[in-house]
Chains A and B, each alone.
Chain A
Amino acid sequence: MSMNYDAAVAAYEPTLGLEVHVELNTKSKMFCSCSTEFGAEPNTQTCPVCLGLPGSLPVVNGKAIESSILIGLALNCSIAPFSRFARKNYFYPDMPKNFQTSQYDEPICVDGYLDVEIETDEGPKKFRVEIERVHMEEDTGKSLHVGGSTGRIHGAEYSLLDYNRAGIPLVEIVTRIVPGTGKYAPQVARAYVTELRDILRSLGVSDVKMEQGSLRCDANVSIAPIGSGKLGTRSETKNVNSLRSVERAVSGEIERQANRLESGERIIQETRHFLEESGQTRPGRSKETAEDYRYFPEPDLVPVTPDADWIEELRKRIPEKPSIRRKRLQEEWNVPAKEMESMVNAELLDVVEETVKLGSDATRARSWWLGEVSRLANEKEVAPTSLITAAQVAEVIALIAGGELTDKLARQVVEGVINGEGTPREVIDKRGLKVVSDDSALMVAIEAAIAAQPDTAERIRGGNIPAAGALIGAVMKATGGQADAAKVRELLLKHLGQG
């Protein structure tokens, strides 16, 4: 009889640990000046250094150090006044030097924390996730194993190697074990990665795109019988490529391990791969016979010794924590949590805030950015913010509020701005999109509508107000949409003795 998740967490206490790899968005690689641009032709962004050619030497990218310190500061870490790179030695074809240059026992940032909040049965609850370390390292190249059924090196007919990724700066953020999450381990894991992603984005140090691999999460999970006070053997699940997968991978692992223990088997310390379709994990490399990486300090690099004044300068650049900012804006704008979430997920919170600062109403700003502008951006497959500025959207919203534009006309104005026809005002002038607000011109149209539908007019006179819709529609059609519908309604009802 297999155990479901609820039964598993009723019997076992899960313990969580998370390792997040972040690709920094520096222009050049960690130890050379090659470009880090994503998606270039294979092996076009390489040089003697990142190919590990004999005689070549690494030089640390200062921008990567700056980004790492920013990350450490945002995660409440201490910044080491002295840290070093080490060599992690192992053979693999996608590693040009057959060692990875990585920080080991002397990382740049240590001892931080990140508080996350999740919904529990008893309401919102805060968990503190302690950060053990933040360290820098270089990425490896990419292997593509061709032929064979598994896409793995064993059984492949041949393998292709792309070293464009070799040497891309990575930052690894490692938590201490997170105890006491109980059945909420999966939600805590997700909340942590979400919060971390938002922080990294707010720092501007990474693209944090899980699907492109610029943010990768390894979830360490172990379980032990509740009350045993022990730690179980852990597994490390890789290939977790979305926030939802983080949650599924953790719950799936808890369930799998519980079932193994229930059937009298032991947990093997190993790396497992998350399978997106099934939500299950499959075994990877066993870590029982620990690989000896023969770490030693990298003699080709000098220690990293950031100046205390510089660290303080960087501290001033740390923005408000995204979760706190979200709460503040939600209160200020008085919008539902769901709307906040949609803005965050669409990466439009910044521009909406800017639009609001320029005087727009928050709900209107949100609906323009997430609605019409996003729709046009989707059609063009570009980011909404690349099409139109916050100032232009704010101007359009102000014109609507001032009665100079209707929503329908405003959409045409936005389209014109995006097409490069000029500022909103210029588009209005060029396209002649002025609202018809001249009462006498409107009255002509109203009288024409009444003449065309005398029966409807009669019903309105008799007190059937909803019937006015048909006549208002006719007037709007006759004026090409340039009339203010509310104004038409007011004039029409007054004319028919209902005003």
Chain B
Amino acid sequence: MTHIYSTAAQMSAALAAKEVSSVDLTKEHLARIAQVDTDVHAFLYVDKEGALAQAEAADKLRAAGGAISPLAGVPLALKDVLAQKGIPTTCGSKMLENWRPPYDSTVVTKLKAAGVVILGKTNMDEFAMGSSTENSAYGPTHNPWDLDRIPGGSGGGSAAALAAFEAPLAIGTDTGGSIRQPAAVTGTVGVKPTYGGVSRYGLVAFSSSLDQAGPCARTVLDTALLHEVIAGYDERDSTSINQAVPDVVAAAKRQEVKGMKIGVVKELGGDGFQAGVSQRFQEALEILVANGAEIVEVSCPNFEYALAAYYLIAPSEASSNLARFDSMRYGIRVGDDGTVGAEEVMRATRHLGFGPEVKRRIILGTYALSSGYYDAYYGSAQKVRTLIKRDYEKAFESVDVLVSPTCPTTAFKIGEKSDDPLAMYLNDIATIPVNMAGIGGMSLPCGLAPEDNLPVGFQIMSPVMQDDRMYRVGGTLEAALVSKWGQPLLSAETKLAVK
């Protein structure tokens, strides 16, 4: 009997009961990857030997009877934007083809310390810029629900790996929705923790003030278990928060929301949202009410400007963060034939190494930071950011969490929005405000849209360092939905496009 359809918590229990070894569990997943990943293309690199060695180490540790963390021996897929020592880390870019970092990111250090088995690196939009994984230099990832559709982005690889049962756990990063939107369109769970809740050390920066690594899984509890492993203060990251990690695992297990006040953000729904998305969202609200929560409508008037401000701040920071890719120290080098100077080589390398979306954002950001334009663009965008923060603060004075649909639509077709960057950017309209304010956000599945039978995501937002609140609401909602459906949205019975 295979274990790949189990949750991480179940795998952990099976490992503890010695029903299965980590080596066998890892082999099952490697076999699954070999079976489906030619169709899905969730992985850019599978570290078969490394994974088996880690699994063997976890088994030995368990056999020795030492203290062992709950996720020891459970396999995981790592987004290719996080540095793992000696393992290719491309960020989905040609620029870093074959770059192997000489160091581990803090997230990887923590995963290794917990005995989590890292199967490999997952596909993503180049340098995390995109909402569909189509911007990967190594080809798109396909949504396991419908291979003609996108798995979301930028972390489409991680989400697709979960949905296709190639891994029970995954790490994503979320700058404007790159964890939550892929979770929504693949029927999986993804959490963007409070900014500063998980160390960014070793996360190749897209937009430093917005980037946040976070846990992804198929259930709220699994996500919480992974959250617990990777979160916490890190002295290597000046922006990480030196406070105790909220008890997200207890919150995920709590399964009651009596007396909780839940705010529905008026601006994040209605017009422009697909009918089936709004319908499933409303049904989920009713379930929460039935469980004793109070629902109120909340207005966040400045969210209207969030997308515009985001597309000034993120590209500005990106234009500076991506300046280091100049071929001098690592990555590819183009045109160095001994006849031209360093500047020419840098130019040729950046011309060939970056894809069109990355170039678009570098140009946008360079422009926004230029003298004479700085105040009008970057400066104004920072002011909007402050206003968005205040909208949240005001809202959280009267409610415990805020909710909205994660995305306006279900998964769209590959190629559908490739020529229209603005339409693509609108996909993140409901997720971006969370990053702008640095608060926590979760997406969990709330059903399939009746019109296309594709997953719909339900977003829960919680105040800074109160991440446990979204796990409490998410865990309760998930349990009620599974009981209503009779089985999880993703199970061995789910009709996926891959067998």
Contacts and interface: CB of A to CB of B under 8 A. Distances in A.
B160 to A, nearest CB: 23
Interface string B279-323: 000000000000000000000000000000000000011011001
A188 B301 CA distance: 59
B323 A91 contact: yes
A93 interface: yes
Interface in B171-208: 200-205, 207-208
A87 B96 CA distance: 23
B203 A299 contact: no
A55 B346 contact: no
Given A48-B102, A299-B208, A60 B323 contact: no
A19 to B, nearest CB: 20
A54 B89 contact: yes
B238 A294 contact: no
Given A48-B102, A55-B101, A296-B378, A97 B324 contact: yes
Contacts of A300: 205, 208, 238-239
Nearest to A31: B238
Interface residues of B, number: 45
A55 B202 contact: yes
Interface string B326-357: 10111000000000011100100000000000
B235 A89 contact: no
Contacts of A56: 103, 201-202
A51 B346 contact: no
Nearest to B105: A55
Q: Main SS of chain A's interface residues?
A: loop
Contacts, number: 102
A127 interface: no
Contact of A59 (B96, B236, B371): B236
Contact of B236 (A57, A97, A99): A57
A54 B95 CA distance: 12
A301 B82 CA distance: 20
Contacts of A91: 323, 326, 343, 346
Nearest to B237: A57
B341 A153 contact: yes
B369 interface: yes
Given A55-B205, A56-B201, A296 B316 contact: yes
Q: Main SS of chain B's interface residues?
A: loop
Contacts of B96: 54
A154 B340 CA distance: 10
B370 interface: yes
B216 interface: no
A180 to B, nearest CB: 32
A202 to B, nearest CB: 32
Interface of B: 82-83, 89, 91, 96, 99, 101-103, 105, 200-205, 207-209, 235-239, 316-317, 319-320, 323-326, 328-330, 341-343, 346, 366, 369-371, 374, 378
- In the complex, the 9 A-B pairs of residues with the closest C-beta atoms, listed nearest first: A98-B323, A294-B369, A299-B208, A299-B209, A54-B204, A55-B202, A55-B83, A55-B204, A97-B324
20 contacts: A53-B83, A54-B83, A54-B91, A54-B101, A55-B82, A55-B89, A55-B204, A57-B237, A59-B237, A60-B238, A89-B319, A91-B326, A98-B323, A98-B326, A99-B320, A153-B342, A161-B328, A294-B366, A296-B320, A300-B239
